[in-house]
A = this chain, B = another copy of it.
Amino acid sequence: MSTEILRSYLEGAWQAGTGDGAEVADAVTGEIITRVSSDGLDLGRAVGYARRTGGAALRELTFPQRAAVLKAAALALEERKQELYDLSARAGATRRDAKVDVDGGIGTALVYASLGRKGLPDGTVIVEDDAVPLGKGGTFAGRHILTTPRGIAVQINAFNFPVWGMLEKLAPALLAGLPTIVKPATPTAYIAARAVLIMEESGALPPGAIQLVGGAIPGLFDLLGGQDHIGFTGSASTAARLRADAAVTRRSARFNAEADSLNCSVLGPDAVPGRPEFDLFVGALVTEMTVKAGQKCTAIRRAFVPAARIDMVAQAVEAELARVVVGAPGADGVTMGPLVGLPQREDVRAAAARIASAGSVVHGDLAKVEVVGADPERGAFLSPLLVRVDDVARPEPHEVEAFGPVSTLMPYTGTEQLRDLIACGEGSLAGSVVSADKDFVREVVLAAAAHHGRILVLDHDSAAESTGHGTPMPQLVHGGPGRAGGGEEEGGLRAVHAHLQRTAVQGSPAVLEAITSERPANS
């Protein structure tokens, strides 16, 4: 890999922006991998190409045909995933981390391909429900249909999941018949671009179904309106800025945000040391802190444990964290890689210091880390950091997100206080309750539900098959209220429906039948 400008894929061709671009460094060595720039690229033409060529091509296909296209693209990625693993390692991902992104993304696309084949009609229109009679004589009724907007899907992704983040948005858009323009995050844009290259070289996707632009997207939102869909994953502040654009506020482009949040995990009062749930809680917390070096929107940031048990939990987590080996992905024994880059490390250090100011550090050191197989200063290495905050009224652990291997342990004294503490997060993507006490679980889940897009209950019964606190599943909604962005992705076919326009059609039963009966697709 050279330090050439990363090429964008626009209008069916790989094109390099001009200028110096933003340098992207290897997370492990600090070496410059590529530069990212969209200067000189014509985004207006790209949007036109998506609308004209991509939209027309996808609307020609029935839902099952689109599902077949998606499956072929996913299988092309499966075949060449080693390339993506190799690139991911340069972004700091261990093999375990890369699998979460790459295999997770491919698996998500395959689940959607299956849903599209089995769960959608052999046509281009979804009839959502039965006809609703609107008159006593039976001559007038209403029915809802879902059809493909004449628009495009723009996805703006976070750096942490360049493959999964792209595919989980591409899959429903493609099934819905919307062409996609991907704007990957700069630090890992080269991984997303390789995935697009693999799909493109496979010939699986119709022309215009996907485009990718590395770098800034000035003016792009000016071209978006009520038929378009914007899918955003990233920081709450960027979400707020984009959502205030006239494309959204004035022209009503659909905007779905999935933002970082201060996800919690709760240890039940029943889960004393010696009970399997105690170990499950400790293991899950350490996993969430260390997978992708804690750079996950869904990672556990706040761990609530019964006050009487906080010392024991702290000790147990400490013992596990002490076994974490930080270093270059692939180097001997390494279990946790670096953060994605040095600027990210500075952000995490600053945020973690603010959290730590509210309590004490149980494990880890913000300034110092032992590193295997790499230079700790050239690479973006950071030790896992467990903070303990006993004064739970302090705002920092509930408000400050350190987007790295950082979590805060806090005590609770009863379910009423626990409810309030959970709500202090002001909306999260994922929460978990680790307990075998079903009354406790029920009470906490129902109290926490309004603040969460997803809640995992972990106990001995399901542990072996549980997919874990931090893993969104394509069948289930991913997103959360408030701080988490207020959006909803995935959730099986819900995400496809969210890309379509729902229309109530009213008329005689014969008219409704004529409109909703399946016929060969046309655009």
Contacts and interface: CB of A to CB of B under 8 A. Distances in A.
A502 B240 CA distance: 22
Contact of A486 (B148, B226, B453, B514): B226
Interface in A135-151: 135-137, 139-140, 142, 144-145, 147-150
Q: Pick from A423, A446, A467, A514 the residue with the most CB of B within 10 Å.
A: A446
Contact of A511 (B239, B438, B484): B438
A243 interface: yes
Nearest to A137: B465
Contacts of A465: 134-137, 139-140
How many copies altogether?
2
A462 B508 contact: yes
Interface string A467-495: 10000010111100111111110011000
Q: Pick from A246, A249, A450, A457 the residue with the most CB of B within 10 Å.
A: A249
A236 interface: yes
Interface in A421-464: 423, 426-427, 438-439, 441-442, 445-446, 449-459, 461-462, 464
A482 B134 contact: no
Contacts of A510: 438, 461
B492 A459 contact: no
Nearest to A242: B249
Interface residues of A, number: 87
A100 interface: no
Given A139-B465, A243-B249, A514-B442, A254 B486 contact: yes
A250 B246 contact: no
B476 A504 contact: yes
Contact of A132 (B148, B485, B492): B492
Given A254-B486, A482-B226, A464 B137 contact: yes
A503 interface: yes
A341 interface: no
Contacts of A360: none
Contacts of A125: 446, 449
A353 interface: no
A515 B462 contact: no
Interface string A309-343: 00000000000000000000000000000000000
Interface of A: 125, 132, 134-137, 139-140, 142, 144-145, 147-150, 225-227, 236-237, 239-241, 243-244, 246, 248-254, 257, 423, 426-427, 438-439, 441-442, 445-446, 449-459, 461-462, 464-467, 473, 475-478, 481-488, 491-492, 501-508, 510-511, 514-515
20 contacts: A134-B467, A134-B473, A139-B461, A140-B467, A142-B475, A142-B476, A149-B450, A149-B481, A226-B426, A226-B481, A227-B450, A239-B249, A240-B246, A240-B250, A438-B511, A451-B501, A454-B506, A457-B515, A461-B510, A478-B504
